[in-house]
Structure 1
Amino acid sequence: MTDDLPPGRGATGEPEGVPRAAPAPDAPAPTVGRGGRRRDQALALGWLVAAWLLLWGDVSVGNLIAGLVVGVAVLLFFPLPPVTFGGRFRPRELLVFLVTFIAELVSASLHVAAVALRFGYRPRGAIIAVPLRVRTDLNLALTAEVISLVPGTLILDVDRARGVLYVHVLDVRGPEDVSGSRERVLAVERRIVRAIGSPAEVHRLDLEPVERRNHQ
């Protein structure tokens, strides 16, 4: 496979002439109490267990216990800076996110399998830069994890200061595939924020991406 970029794209897959996203303004870190810290650790443990089950592809008691042990070990021996959760859970939007994720997982798996079985076909790849609209550490991490779990896409780097994900996508045939891949990443971000984001973060989704505004 060769990582060629379609014409008219920069080294990161961004359209030429589109300004880069400005760095997020610095803000003082919120104070996290003991109860909030425990809540954040419980949420992190839940996501680690979910990622473990998805990686194994089998929901069983043994895998659940192993995921809990691995998750606790990661949080204990590799502590990360506190990531506060100021959002709210919305069951309907969370269900939409889960159903859509499973559908995309199946569709992408079938597409990658078809590419792999196509005799003599050499798919091209591209690296695209996707500026997210909600640049919190939690949203960057969750969006990157979900994108990496879908076959055919892989997170190569994360620009935390500018809130940009650099994604490698498989089987790129033209500029429309690059635009489509970027839209899919933004759609994942939108579903995550609508499922667990704060009202302010949900409102921020109404702001159109820079690229879309420039193409109107």
Structure 2
Amino acid sequence: MTRWVGPWLLLTCVFLLMVGNVDPWNVLVGAGVAAALLRWSGRWLMDGRPPGKLGPRRVWGFGVLALAVLADVVRGTWRMMHVILGPSPGAKQGVVEVPLGERTEGGARVSALVASMAPGSVLLDIDWERRVMRFHMVDASRADEFRADMERFYRERQRAVFP
């Protein structure tokens, strides 16, 4: 249990640096976010289980993946601008389920993280029994496009790095 304290404190401090304010509420929220992040990714970070063999192809794949995530964040920001400035902001929001497909447990977590980085969608939970990820989307009218984009992104960019 003590091996979790250092990373938990570090992540809490990173959160406080990010918000730029050390009032008690931010400390509490940061500690909660840090605990949730460690719980979510603990097997990779804390138990020493590597995500896979690291080679030149995987390093290249990670660079391509990072650029694709950046492009997705820009597209998501553009879409959010249209939603916010549109005639009825938030009118089409809803929950969208995305099948896990052939993703491993770690791959599903990376997919969820990547999809949540772009504005407009955030992971609610992963139902491991039904093998679906549940997202809240600001514009759920494009649910089929979102599912297809996630599957294409996984197949073309993510699978080579985080299966």
Normalization by structure 2: what TM-score?
Answer: 0.62
User: Is contact 1:135–1:163 with CA below 8 Å preserved after alignment?
Assistant: no
Partner of 1:178: 143
Partner of 2:160: 194
Q: Percent identity?
A: 22
2:49 corresponds to which letter in structure 1?
Answer: T
Please list every run of 5 or more consecutive structure 1 residues that lacks an aligned counterpart in the other structure.
Answer: 1-40, 58-69, 198-216
Aligned partners of 2:48 and 2:127: how far apart in 1? 17
Aligned partners of 2:93 and 2:121: how far apart in 1? 10
Aligned partners of 1:150 and 1:187: how far apart in 2? 16
Please list every run of 5 or more consecutive structure 2 residues that lacks an aligned counterpart in the other structure.
Answer: 20-30
Corresponding residue SS for 1:195: coil
Q: Deviations over 1:66-125 (max 9, x none)?
A: xxxx8xx759x8694548335234122211111111011011112102221224455302
Aligned partners of 1:107 and 1:141: how far apart in 2? 21
Q: 1:133 to 1:160 in 2, by over 3 A?
A: same
User: Is contact 2:90–2:138 with CA below 8 Å preserved after alignment?
Assistant: no
1:124 corresponds to which letter in structure 2?
Answer: K
Structure showing greater radius of gyration is: 1
Aligned partners of 2:103 and 2:96: how far apart in 1? 17
User: Is contact 1:128–1:178 with CA below 8 Å preserved after alignment?
Assistant: yes
Partner of 2:28: none
Q: Which runs of 4+ in 1 moved over 3 A?
A: 77-86, 119-123
User: Is contact 1:88–1:196 with CA below 8 Å preserved after alignment?
Assistant: no
Aligned partners of 1:126 and 1:153: how far apart in 2? 10
Aligned partners of 2:97 and 2:148: how far apart in 1? 11
Structure with bigger helix share is 2
User: Is contact 1:153–1:168 with CA below 8 Å preserved after alignment?
Assistant: yes
Normalization by structure 1: what TM-score?
Answer: 0.49
Verify: 1:99 aligned to 2:64, yes or no.
no
Give the number of the structure with larger relative contact order, counting CA–CA contacts within 8 Å between residues 6 or more apart.
1
**Matching of residues 101-120 of structure 1 within 5 Å:** 101-120=69-88
Cα offset for 1:187?
2.9
Q: Deviations over 1:119-164 (max 9, x none)?
A: 4455302322212123432112211111111110111121123431
Aligned partners of 1:119 and 1:130: how far apart in 2? 28
Aligned partners of 1:91 and 1:99: how far apart in 2? 13
Q: 1:95 to 1:170 in 2, by over 3 A?
A: same
Aligned length: 131
